[in-house]
Structures are given as structure tokens and as C-alpha cells.
Amino acid sequence: MSPDYDTDYYAWLISNAESLRAGRVTEIDTTRIAEELEDMGKSERRAIESWLKVLILHLLKWRYQPLHRSASWAQSIDNARDEIQQRLHDSPSLLPRLNEMIVARYPAARRAAMRETGLSLNTFPEDCPFTIAQLLDDAFWPEYANEMSQ
């Protein structure tokens, strides 16, 4: 008898993996495995969305508080870009969904930028001012004066 999903998740995973490798498909908990696979996909998307929020937050701070720029902000930007790029490398089918992820996470990044900078929410554009290419470009560092004239 296979371990129960609700009683011992790890044992359930191992048992189903062994059954799958051995070709004993009748022993596999296909419904739960399908749910787990879907959840894994959602988790990967949520991770990219979370890193996008962090990236946008710090790029907004970088742009609107140039006198407060710090190595920790730069490191946060680098880390977020690296994580996003690695996850997109592993799951390239999420690349076409980046725009909708940015649209979904930008309001939270904007509010966080307001709280962390003390600047008015109206300081920050209502829509994300950065393109996907800019967000993913390791060489892109927004400058307030240059971007405001565009």
C-alpha cells in the first residue's frame, strides 16, 4: 500500500517516483501528481513575479532617489535580474507572459517604493516605466533626468 499524501508527503513522493520509474503506472496517484505538477508551474511563475517586484522596486528607488543609491540597492537589482534570467532559462515558456506579470506586480512595487522612499505615490508613474528589455538588461540603470525627458 502506498503512503498517504496527507499523512506523509515525502514518503508519498518517493513511492510515486519509484512506481513511475518502474513503470507501475496503476500504482501512481495520477490525480494528485497532476495537481502537484500544476502547483510547481504556479510556483515558478510566482517566483518570477516576486523577483520582478523586487527588481522594479529597486529600479524605482534608483531612479527617484539618486542621492540615496547604495551598493545594497545595486546588489538587489543584480540578484533579481540573475534570478529572473535563470528561471526564464529553465522555463522559457514563461517569457511571453512577462508583460502580464509586470502589469500584475507593478502596483505592489510602486506602493513599496512609496513606503521605502517616503515619496508620494504620485511620484511614481501609474504604469511600469521600464520595458522588459530594460528590466532584464544588466547594463540598464535608470537615470532620473534622462528618462523624464522621454
Question: Is residue 34, in this structure, part of any structural domain at all?
Answer: no
Question: Is residue 125, in this structure, part of any structural domain at all?
Answer: yes
Question: Is residue 15, in this structure, part of any structural domain at all?
Answer: no
pTM: 0.83
pLDDT tens readout for residues 28-50? 999 999 999 999 989 999 999 99
Question: Is residue 71, in this structure, part of any structural domain at all?
Answer: yes
Q: What are phi and psi of 33, to 5 degrees?
A: -65, -40
Question: Is residue 45, in this structure, part of any structural domain at all?
Answer: yes
Cα separation, 111 vs 55, in Å, equals 14
Q: Which domain holds residue 78?
A: 41-148
Split into its structural domains, the chain has a count of: 1
Cell digits of residue 61: 528607488
**How many other C-beta atoms lie within 10 A of the C-beta of residue 42?**
10
Question: Is residue 14, in this structure, part of any structural domain at all?
Answer: no
Question: Is residue 118, in this structure, part of any structural domain at all?
Answer: yes
Sign of CA dihedral 67, 72, 73, 78: positive
pLDDT tens readout for residues 74-120? 999 999 999 999 999 999 999 999 999 999 999 999 999 999 999 99
Output b/e per residue, 94-132; b: 16+ Cβ within 10 A: beeebeebbeebbeebbebbbeebeeeeeebeeebbbee
Q: Is the pLDDT of residue 145 over 60?
A: no
CA atoms within 13 A on the CB side of 123: 18
Q: In the predicted model, what is the mean pLDDT of residues 10-22?
A: 93
The pLDDT score that the predictor gives to residue 77 is 98
Q: Is the pLDDT of residue 3 over 90?
A: no
